[in-house]
Structure 1
């Protein structure tokens, strides 16, 4: 159990620190066989809470400064979709409890989480009020669960992102707000706002950190943040997916299989970044001055460690960072068998 309270998010950012946050719980638990692709509801929180605790610890071990409560897609609309609305509150409260316990144990920050609802319609007042109610209850549970700040993430619609921010400011008891948007094929929100302008509007509306998460990989995400840097007066966030997106396929949802089908979300493995790609992302973020960084859907601990190390950190996982000099066939250690070193040319 940590004995000293960690510095708060805003204190860290105002002193020039970079904050690393692990996202990507949804994809990781699906890969591990504890979450269903399609609905993507985080039932693992209730079914296997020990696994959630373990992954929280693993991500901190790899370098995360933040334990993000696993309430992404744990909102009322998703629970309605699978017919389990009665589990909504227990799921949220359990997720927050698990995150708070690991944050206290490791001396890290704990963040509550709200996200895109997939039912927001600015032209329908009933839809707007429905979404507001969903945000309100999750934010209030996060406050009661001891969150240090609130993350509102993956909004493709500026109107919904603004509503999420408004709700954090109204119901969040003064907690800081980090608001991030997804950039699709074109750098324009679904409601027609250039993403650079969207970030500026969110900052002007009182968000403490703004930026992009999910959707785009490092190579197609970072140029947008670099272009926005001079116009945004609050710290920027960059949390890409670890996939090699390109100008042709700027968002990982546009990848196709060899047969012309959708590679997203079940056939993305051929497009994964290497740990060295993620390290380069970290160095780019440092050069630009992005202070809030992480990895989103597809994240794994070796990516997070590479990111942390690229920023000059030595997380606990760095004890086991690669040392290829000791490899039996490709190493350089003088005590290695020359027979196998010579044989490496035949591999």
Structure 2
């Protein structure tokens, strides 16, 4: 077993960048093991071996963290599909497998809580529902050996702060990474706070890392990160979706397909970023000195490898990074057979 890795806070204090692969929901939906719409991680209890395999795959590609696949595995989401009986087994299995892979690979393991879909700032009873949801998931993460807790994809500062308060109260001192998502309005959270004030509120409430995840693509998230990076004292996170969003359609939810219909979620394939775009995103993150970087919904292992390499890493998967010098037609490797490649290229 590899030696115990440095903790999150230790890495951040040393100025290191932590690469985090996310995107389990979309990847398992693409593979045919998860239903788009409900987006509940049923695969955890139905095919745990596949979840463990994807954990390993993302680490192989360069992730420093095994993020337990408990996103949308909370009480409310399971209630909607009639699987509340699977709540604890689903969470504990995802966490246990993540811990096993982290121990095997010398990486960190993070618990994961997220937006609840029930929070209403004006209805106190929903706050109690959320506390129950957060508390049980956090406590299971602690019991299963999480190194830190990720709370993410909050549109409202009030819900993000409530999640952070629960981490502070129930995690026995584990660091918290808290990320929000800003949809069409890049300047305001759903509950009306500015981008900067939103991040400052989370920083002041004790988050070890604050930032943005999901919703926006690399090139519609980076301008927001650039606006806050030097005005926040704690490290800033950037975990976009790998889709080609732009100023007109800044989020994956606002993209439209060739028929003018909403592309989210099943027609997003046509909008996937190229690897060179992901590399460009990583290079910009490196220039900005961001310390918590990753990819969210739509991520796949080749994107994580590209991101890691753009940050100066050489993960195990780099052994298989493209090398077109060895290609029979386009290659320049002297070991290639003597071919009239000019004619072949014209045919191709």
Please indicate the TM-score interval, normalised by the length of the shorter structure.
over 0.9
Is 2:287 the partner of 1:287?
yes
1:331 Cα offset (Å): 1.4
Q: Which residue of 1 aligns with 2:344?
A: 343
Q: Which residue of 2 aligns with 1:169?
A: 168
SS of 1:54's equivalent in the other structure is helix
Q: Which deviates more, 323-332 or 103-112?
A: 323-332
Distance across 2 between alignment mates of 1:265 and 1:156: 19
Runs of at least 5 residues in structure 2 that lack an aligned partner in the other structure: none
Deviations 1:23-71 (A, max 9, x none): 0000000000111111010011000000000000000000000000000
Q: Which residue of 1 aligns with 2:61?
A: 62
5 Å-filtered alignment, 1:125-136, equals 125-136=124-135
Q: Which residue of 2 aligns with 1:203?
A: 203
Q: Which residue of 1 aligns with 2:250?
A: 250
1:338 Cα offset (Å): 2.6
1:343 Cα offset (Å): 2.0
5 Å-filtered alignment, 1:226-237, equals 226-237=226-237
Runs of at least 5 residues in structure 1 that lack an aligned partner in the other structure: none
Distance across 1 between alignment mates of 2:278 and 2:131: 36
Q: Which residue of 1 aligns with 2:84?
A: 85
Q: Which residue of 2 aligns with 1:154?
A: 153
1:194 Cα offset (Å): 1.6
Q: Which residue of 1 aligns with 2:313?
A: 313
1:276 Cα offset (Å): 1.0
Distance across 2 between alignment mates of 1:210 and 1:14: 15
Distance across 2 between alignment mates of 1:292 and 1:336: 45
Q: Which residue of 2 aligns with 1:103?
A: 102
Distance across 2 between alignment mates of 1:276 and 1:254: 23
Q: Which residue of 1 aligns with 2:269?
A: 269
Deviations 1:281-332 (A, max 9, x none): 1110111111000110000111001111111111000001111011111112
1:229 Cα offset (Å): 1.0
Distance across 2 between alignment mates of 1:336 and 1:270: 37
Contact 1:328 1:341 in 2 (8 A): no
Q: Which residue of 1 aligns with 2:238?
A: 238
Distance across 1 between alignment mates of 2:116 and 2:227: 28
Distance across 1 between alignment mates of 2:225 and 2:256: 26
Q: Which deviates more, 335-344 or 83-92?
A: 335-344
Q: Which residue of 1 aligns with 2:326?
A: 326
Distance across 1 between alignment mates of 2:230 and 2:314: 30
1:270 Cα offset (Å): 1.1
Distance across 2 between alignment mates of 1:78 and 1:337: 60
Deviations 1:159-217 (A, max 9, x none): 10000000000101000000001110111211111222201110111100000000111
1:257 Cα offset (Å): 1.2
Contact 1:196 1:224 in 2 (8 A): no
Q: Which residue of 2 aligns with 1:44?
A: 43
1:345 Cα offset (Å): 2.0
Distance across 2 between alignment mates of 1:245 and 1:332: 36
Q: Which residue of 1 aligns with 2:15?
A: 16
Distance across 2 between alignment mates of 1:185 and 1:168: 29
Distance across 1 between alignment mates of 2:180 and 2:266: 23
Deviations 1:198-253 (A, max 9, x none): 01110111100000000111111011111101110000100010011100111011
